[in-house]
Every structure is written in C-alpha cells, then in structure tokens.
Chain A
Amino acid sequence: MRRTEVKKVLCESAFSRPGGGCGGEGAPAPQGGQGLEGVRIGRTIRSMTSMTSDAAREIDRLRQEVAVLQRRARELGESSDKFLAVATHDLRAPLASLRLIADMLAQPGRVNPDSRNLIEIMARNVDAMEALVSNVLNASRLSHPGTSLNLDKFEINGLIEDTLAGYFQLAIRRKVALDANLSPEAGTVLADRARLGQAITNLVGNALKFTPAAGTVLVASDGGEDWAEVSVSDTGPGLTAVDKEKLFTSFYRGSAEPAHGDPSTGLGLYIVRRIAEAHGGTVGAEGDPGKGSLFFFRISRRAAQSIGTPGSQEQ
C-alpha cells in the first residue's frame, strides 16, 4: 500500500504534464512521434521505479532493525529494573546493621559527648541513605507493569495517625508544628494499606523537608461518597509554575532547596502519583513562590487497579 503511494507521488511530481500519463512497470512504451524523448522518459520511469523498490526494501529493513532494538531496549529495561531491585534490597541489610550499631553506641554512658554527636550525625546519614534506597526500590517496583495491590478495608484516618506519629520526633527536632485536621468523612477505603501509607509518608516527609523551623505542616483528610482525600500543606517556600507541572514526574527536583539539608532523589512525589493512580485516583499540587504549598491525592474508595495499567503510565 505504502509503495503504491510512493510511486504515485513520484509520478505526480516529476512527470505530470498536460495530457500526459503516469508510466511505470508495465506501462505501454512510448510510440512513434514521441521518439527519443519517450524512450528517455521510459528509462527514467524504470529507474525511478527500481529506486522506489530499493527504498521500500530499505524501509522494511530499518523497520525490522527498529523492532529488534525495541525488543533489546525492553529486555535491558527489565534487567535494569531487576538489578535495581536486587541491589537496593541488598543495600538495606548493611544499612540496618549500621543503624543498630549507631543506636547502641549512642546510648548514655557508652561514649563521650563529642563522639556521641558524631554517632548521631552518622545515624542521620544512615537514615537518609535508607530513605534514598527505599525510594529507588519503590519506584522500581511501581514501574513494573501489573504490580498488584494488596487490598484491605480500613479507616484512612487511622493510617494517617500511624504515619503522623512516626514523624513527631523529626518535627520536634526541626521545630516544625505538625498539625492535623482529620475529617470523619474520609471514612473507610478498600486499598493497599502499605502503599497508601507510603504515599502519606512521602507527602509528610516532603513537607517536613522543605518547611523551615517555626513553620507548620498540616495534614488533613476529607471524603465523599466515592472518594477519599489526603492533603498535606506547609509554610515552606511554595511552588513555581514549572514545579507544579513537573513535580510528580520521576527524578524531578523542585526549584526550592530543602530547608534542613536533606538529600532528594526526586522520586517521592512520583511514587505518590503512581500509588494514587493505581487506586483509581489523582494527585495535585497548589501554591505560589513564598506562599507555602499543598499536595494532595484523592483515591476512589473501591476502584483500585493493578499498578502499571494503561491509565497509570508515566508520561
């Protein structure tokens, strides 16, 4: 089909004349009075036809090469994901061991105050690395098409409370007020508790990362007949227009610097988006530079689907 079209275009552009036809393979030979001119045209047509066939063969060959390359890219992507999953998993064990040792050494009376300070710095860095490894591992897992959800029915406010409690120590250390406004309307959801907990953790962690001392982070919940929502607002540096557009894509780091020197993989909000989408939901961000920001995800109460279905592909 495509070859015929190519031929037709060539004919129309190069040989169309008033009253003239379009030759080609099998076209009648020029007759009598047309003479040498007709023969030349015939040869040219045959030559062009041959070139068209060559071009078509080349296109076929390239198409096959592209298919092979696509298959290899897919295989490389899969093996890269597998490598990432194994590597990050194996990194966590020694990190956990280091954290345990740091905790033991930091106990009162074991070391002098100067050494204790150093051990606490070490512990914080181990925590930061653990968070990085976890984010990379989670993003890798969530990028696998068909990753399934472990569905359970539970009160979403209870999950928020558990997550919030885990952040109180950090909020106190950073002199940030951690407020909560949980609505009973948030109710129960049929969802993957661990993954939803991860989404809330990432939102709260992100807010505490960018909110300076004396600031406030507010975690709120709400709900309707078919949906439940979790939002986290803060008094941090706010968002630019580009931030709002790109924050939920992988490896994007916002325009603002973390207020407490935390590292960032640019994966936390991407993970939130993938989890929300897997639960038939959406994510969003609001805020302007210097005016704080608000992040939220809204999920369907029941319409959880497996991660990686067409509706949840990264753009």
Chain B
Amino acid sequence: MRIEIETRGEISLVRLSGSVQTTDNERFADELAGLRKSGATRVVFEASQLEYINSRAIADLVMFNSYLQDAGGRMALAALNSMVEKVVRAVGLGSLVQVCADADEAVEALSG
C-alpha cells in the first residue's frame, strides 16, 4: 500500500495505490488519524492505482466519513476499479459519499 497526500485549496487529495490488506491496516488507520489531526474536512480518495481494499480499511473509511459529516465536511471517492467499486457499493458507502470518475471531478464536486 502506498499513500500520497496533496492539498488542492481546501481539499485534501489522498492517492491510494497497491493493496490494503491486514498488514497495512494499522498504517492506513494512522494516515486517517493524521488527516483528522490536520483539520482536513474535505477529502478526496483517488483510487485509480488501488487494487484491493480490505473490510477493515473500508470500515475505517465509513467511520472517517461519519467524522467528516459531524465536522461539517465531505468526502468523495474517485477512479475506483471494479473490485473496489463492488465493495464500496456492497457496504453502502457509495450512497453516503460521492463516487466520481476521476480526481478532478471529485475535487470539483467538493469545491462547491
């Protein structure tokens, strides 16, 4: 798993790549905690290079979205591959956050 974070105005763009498995869960949770500490409230997760994300990381994303909503912020997912999209839809995350074709679209969606 690799995570790169860049900032576009008020939006944090998190690029995920590789695969999020059990061995990556702790680091993934730490990265989300870091985003919270940084005060980010509008976050895009770009996943064009993400091959797989496990159930624990998906649960972390659901919790992170709840936190953002409580903080008056929003979250979007972009460029999901078919596996990740199936998972996002299956757990209902797809109806809670915006799912966009690519990062630019997602950034624009959260900019309004």
What residues of A have a CB within 8 angstroms of the CB of B90 in the complex?
165-166, 168-169
B contacts with A: majority SS: helix
Q: Is the CB of A177 within 8 A of B87?
A: no
Residue B69 interfacial (CB < 8 Å):
no
Q: Is the CB of B86 within 8 A of A171?
A: no
Residue B97 interfacial (CB < 8 Å):
no
Which bracket fits the contact residues of B? 10 to 19
Residue A300 interfacial (CB < 8 Å):
no
What residues of A have a CB within 8 angstroms of the CB of B62 in the complex?
172
Contact with A along B22-52 (1 / 0, CB 8 A): 1001000000000000000000000000001
Query: What is the bound-complex CA distance between A176 and B59, given in angstroms?
Result: 10
Query: What is the bound-complex CA distance between A162 and B52, given in angstroms?
Result: 13
What residues of A have a CB within 8 angstroms of the CB of B3 in the complex?
none
Given A169-B91, A172-B91, the answer on whether A178 and B55 have CB atoms closer than 8 Å is yes
Q: Is the CB of A178 within 8 A of B54?
A: yes
Q: Is the CB of A165 within 8 A of B86?
A: yes
A165 interface neighbour in B22, B25, B59, B87, Cβ under 8 Å: B87
Q: Is the CB of B82 within 8 A of A177?
A: no
Q: Is the CB of B86 within 8 A of A179?
A: no
Query: What is the bound-complex CA distance between A178 and B89, given in angstroms?
Result: 16
Which of B55, B56, B87 has the most CB atoms of chain A within a 10 A radius of its CB? Answer: B55
Q: Is the CB of A172 within 8 A of B55?
A: yes
Given A177-B22, A179-B21, A216-B22, the answer on whether A171 and B87 have CB atoms closer than 8 Å is no
Q: Is the CB of A172 within 8 A of B59?
A: yes
Chain A residue nearest in CB terms to B59:
A172
Chain A residue nearest in CB terms to B21:
A179
Q: Is the CB of B54 within 8 A of A162?
A: no
Q: Is the CB of B83 within 8 A of A161?
A: yes
Q: Is the CB of B22 within 8 A of A179?
A: yes
Q: Is the CB of A172 within 8 A of B58?
A: yes
A162 interface neighbour in B55, B58, B86, Cβ under 8 Å: B86
**Beyond A168-B90, A177-B21, A179-B21, 9 extra complex contacts between A and B, CB < 8 Å:** A158-B82, A162-B86, A164-B87, A165-B90, A168-B55, A168-B58, A168-B91, A172-B55, A180-B54
**22 contacts across the A-B interface (CB closer than 8 A):** A161-B82, A162-B86, A164-B83, A165-B86, A165-B87, A166-B90, A168-B58, A168-B90, A168-B91, A171-B55, A172-B56, A172-B59, A172-B62, A175-B56, A177-B21, A177-B56, A178-B54, A178-B55, A179-B21, A180-B21, A181-B21, A216-B22
Interface set of A (CB-CB < 8 Å, partner B): 158, 161-162, 164-166, 168-169, 171-172, 175-182, 216, 218
Interface set of B (CB-CB < 8 Å, partner A): 21-22, 25, 52, 54-56, 58-59, 62, 82-83, 86-87, 89-91
